[in-house]
Amino acid sequence: MSWQPAFTQGHTRDRTNQFIGQLRRVSCPLPETLEFLQRLCREPRRVCAKSDIVLSGTPSAYLHIVLSGWACRTRTLADGRRQITAFLLSGDICDLDNVFFDPPGESVSALTECEVAAIPKARLRDLARRDADFAEALGWFAAHDKVVLGARIASLGQRPAQERIAHLLCELITRLRARGEANGDSCRVPLTQEQLGEALGLTTVHVNRVLQGLRADNVVVRDGDRLTILDWEGLQAIGCFSPTYLHLPGRTHSQPIA
């Protein structure tokens, strides 16, 4: 498995750190806070694909942040069925709620090889106490997660399969674009159809058929783990997607729905 994180630029200094970037975008943490976090990010843990970053039910003293690669939060029901509750991209916090609730109720698994930063929870709390701006940023992250979860609930509850898939693809592409990990209308989406199904509450078989439908209509094409949008307007329309709820910075190559 040769996954290569797609960095926008290859600076000689710290390469683009999405987490620190977001942090600074939503608040003004103290220099010492940033420095501490940056130091931690400089020696990330390498996690290989398909292994767990956080294991539900197992207490953990760390908060985890994805620096590169793809991961997902999963919840396993008593009968073994799995639900993916979120996809985590570079800069996303894995288990913010577990700062308060230990052991975690959800697992986090790497979908590709990942670089993960681990912050001791005790230090994090300390940081938040000392630095109100940082605390506020954490609140922002939590609120952001809540919004995205709410959107997913609406999708699962109200939308038929095709719309649901289209919406998820729109969301992923938009988030990738904001990170500079998409080239125009094409990007890597290293998800199997089974994983898409687990996130959307659909079976692999049905995901496959719907995806073929979208392809037949010249909306999207998947070739391996490369996803190409042929008709961005169309995909948005099918998924009733409006990127505003993601609260991302700058251009996301999309117009608000009139």
- Chain residues in the site for its own copies (CB under 8 A): 26, 73, 75, 77-79, 81-83, 85, 96-101, 105-106, 125, 128-129, 132, 135-136, 138-140, 142-147, 149-154, 156-159, 198-201, 240, 244-245, 247, 257
Letter for the amino acid at 70?
A: W
Nearer to DNA, 39 or 50 (CB): 50
Long-range Cβ contacts of 155-161 (<8 Å, 24+ apart): 155/200, 156/200, 156/201, 159/239, 159/240, 161/200, 161/202, 161/206, 161/207, 161/210
Q: CB-wise, 153 or 205, nearer to its own copies?
A: 153
Residue 153 interaction partner, one of its own copies, DNA, none, beta carbon < 5-8 Å per kind: its own copies
146 binds, among its own copies, DNA, none (CB under 5 to 8 A by kind): its own copies
CB of 195 to DNA, least distance (A): 8
Q: How far is the CB of 47 from its own copies (least distance, A)?
A: 21
Residue with Cβ nearer its own copies (128 or 182): 128
Burial (CB count within 10 angstroms: exposed 0-12, middle 13-18, buried 19+), residue 68: buried
Cβ 138 vs Cβ 107: under 8 Å = no
Q: By C-beta, is 41 or 199 nearer to DNA?
A: 199
Q: By the 8 A CB rule, do 85 and 73 touch?
A: yes
| CA–CA distance, 254 with 70 (Å, rounded to integer) | 24
Binding site for DNA (CB under 7 A): 1-2, 160-162, 192-194, 201-206, 208-212, 224
194 is in the binding site of which of its own copies, DNA, none (Cβ under 5 to 8 A by kind)?
Answer: DNA
As a whole number of Å, the end-to-end CA separation of the chain is: 43
Q: Give whichever of 58 and 158 is closer to DNA, judged by the CB atom.
A: 158
- 96 interacts with, out of its own copies, DNA, none, CB within 5 to 8 A per kind: its own copies
At its nearest, how many Å lie between DNA and the CB of residue 46? 16
Nearest CB to its own copies, comparing residues 16 and 155:
155
198/230 Cα distance (integer angstroms): 25
Q: Shortest approach of DNA to residue 47 CB, angstroms?
A: 16
Rounded to whole angstroms, the Cα distance separating 7 from 17 reads 9
Find, among 100, 87, 179, 84, the residue nearest to 138 by Cα.
100
Residue 230's identity, in one-letter code, is L
Nearer to its own copies (CB atom), residue 78 or residue 216: 78
Which one of its own copies, DNA, none interacts with residue 244, CB within 5 to 8 A by kind? its own copies
Sign of CA dihedral 69, 75, 81, 83: negative
